Amino acid sequence: MFAKKLVATGLAILVTLGLTACDPPMPPELLATQAEQSVTCVDGDLTVATPAAISDVMDGWASSLTESCSGTTLTKLDGADEAAQAIISMDGQISPKCKPFAEFPIAIDGGVVAYALADAPTLNLTPQNIQDIFSGKVTNWSDPSLAAANPDASLPSLPIHVVGGPQQIAVDALASWFKKLGVDFKPSLAKVSAKDDGAALATMAEGDIAITSFSNALYAFSTVAAVAVGKNAATDNAIADIGGIQRGADTSGAAPGQGEAPAYAGTYPINMYLCGADNQVARAVGRYLVRQDAQGSLGAAVVAPMPESVRIKAIAVVEKGLPKPKN
């Protein structure tokens, strides 16, 4: 009997070892889901230069982080504060004093076309329409090419006036997208600015049009054009809303769900930069901000949460050196 027990025990050990040796590594998707069951805490404080667009969300993140990790504090600083230990940048520009040891996305923004037409609360523009307007080829809202994309709209006979000064990142996002759709986007009338152009949106007059960021347009309550991406310019439109922006950044290749508009693919990441020497406090705070529950808080902001395909890649960057979740 004792011998049988030994044999049985030995077989069980061999089977267990065999399964352990043969089991493939856990896929990133499963590891990311598993990691949501607990919070990685490292005691310390991190100061973060935070743009106005997510200032309120950062307050919530700081509070919930300390609730989860009593020894950890996140201190919000002005977005231009060069003394910050980490920076969240809306346009990829950071202080030269910050030498980042890690860079990863925490949210999604995009390039959009904002316009002011009282009698056209919705507007469809093809990439070629947008190129023609911002290169000066189309100069009036009554142009037949615009009417063709908007058969149900009453577009006025009114000069089109290009305003504002978009940041390069917004122009580049649209150019990259439009190139895939067969249009070489060179908006010569849109004078690129190094500074945020959000203030120009607040003073838009009837007939004005501008390239800007999704976050600026949402913050200013601007009306944004849909981009016609299919054969039927009147119906096959990508809409610049939270869902469209989030799907546009998705790298998984998933098709739109039933009833969903095409993805709005003129997007770019809002990145977080961890400055100075590599340390676990900064990584743990950054890891907290890319959690699913933290991302959910962005619904109250003017940017889109990361799609899961992007979030998983962000986790892989920021969690290096942090404790792994136990199987």
Positive or negative, the Cα torsion across 114, 119, 124, 128? negative
Instruction: Please write the tens of the pLDDT for every residue from 278-322.
Output: 999 999 999 999 999 999 999 888 999 999 999 999 999 999 999
Same domain, 41 and 157: no
Q: What is the pLDDT of residue 300?
A: 83
Q: Which amino acid is at 185?
A: F
Range(s) of the domain holding residue 154: 110-267
Place of tokens 């600026």: 216
> Contact at 8 Å (CB) between 86 and 285?
yes
- Among 267, 283, 304, which residue terminates a domain? 267
**Inside any domain, residue 225:** yes
Q: How many helices (H) and strands (E) does the chain have?
A: 12, 11
Same domain, 163 and 308: no
Same domain, 311 and 196: no
**Inside any domain, residue 277:** yes
Instruction: Please write the tens of the pLDDT for every residue from 163-177.
Output: 988 999 999 999 999
- Please tell me the chain's helix, strand, coil percentages from 3-state DSSP, rounded to the nearest 5: 35, 20, 45
Same domain, 254 and 278: no
Residue 72, helix vs strand vs coil = strand
Residue 17 confidence class, pLDDT cut points 50, 70, 90: very low
Same domain, 80 and 195: no
The lowest-confidence range among 47-51, 145-149, 199-203, 212-216 is 199-203
Same domain, 120 and 248: yes
Same domain, 118 and 83: no
- Phi, psi at residue 277, to the nearest 5°? -75, 140
> Contact at 8 Å (CB) between 105 and 317?
no
Same domain, 207 and 171: yes
Give kind and range of the element (H or E) at residue 12. Answer: helix 2-22
Same domain, 86 and 126: no
Residue 113 confidence class, pLDDT cut points 50, 70, 90: very high
Residue of higher predicted confidence among 26 and 145: 145
| Res. 156: pLDDT tops 60 | yes
Place of tokens 């100061």: 47
**Inside any domain, residue 312:** yes
User: Which residues 6+ apart lie within 8 Å of 286 measured at CB?
Assistant: 86, 102, 104, 106, 272, 274, 318
**Inside any domain, residue 83:** yes
The total domain count for the chain is: 2
Same domain, 245 and 257: yes
Positive or negative, the Cα torsion across 246, 247, 251, 254? positive
In 3D space, the residue among 213, 218, 234 whose CA is nearest the CA of residue 226 turns out to be: 234
Q: What is the pLDDT of residue 34?
A: 61
Same domain, 146 and 240: yes
Q: What is the pLDDT of residue 35?
A: 61
Angle, helix 55-68 to helix 280-289, in steps of 10 degrees: 110
> Contact at 8 Å (CB) between 261 and 277?
no
**Inside any domain, residue 285:** yes
**Inside any domain, residue 3:** no
Instruction: Please write the tens of the pLDDT for every residue from 124-136.
Output: 999 999 999 999 9
Same domain, 84 and 39: yes
Quote the pTM value.
0.86
pLDDT more than 90, % of the chain: 74
Q: What is the pLDDT of residue 4?
A: 34
What CATH number is associated with residue 156? 3.40.190.10
- Among 267, 284, 299, which residue terminates a domain? 267
**Inside any domain, residue 57:** yes
Instruction: Please write the tens of the pLDDT for every residue from 229-252.
Output: 988 776 789 999 999 999 999 988
Rounded mean pLDDT of 96-108? 97
**Inside any domain, residue 1:** no
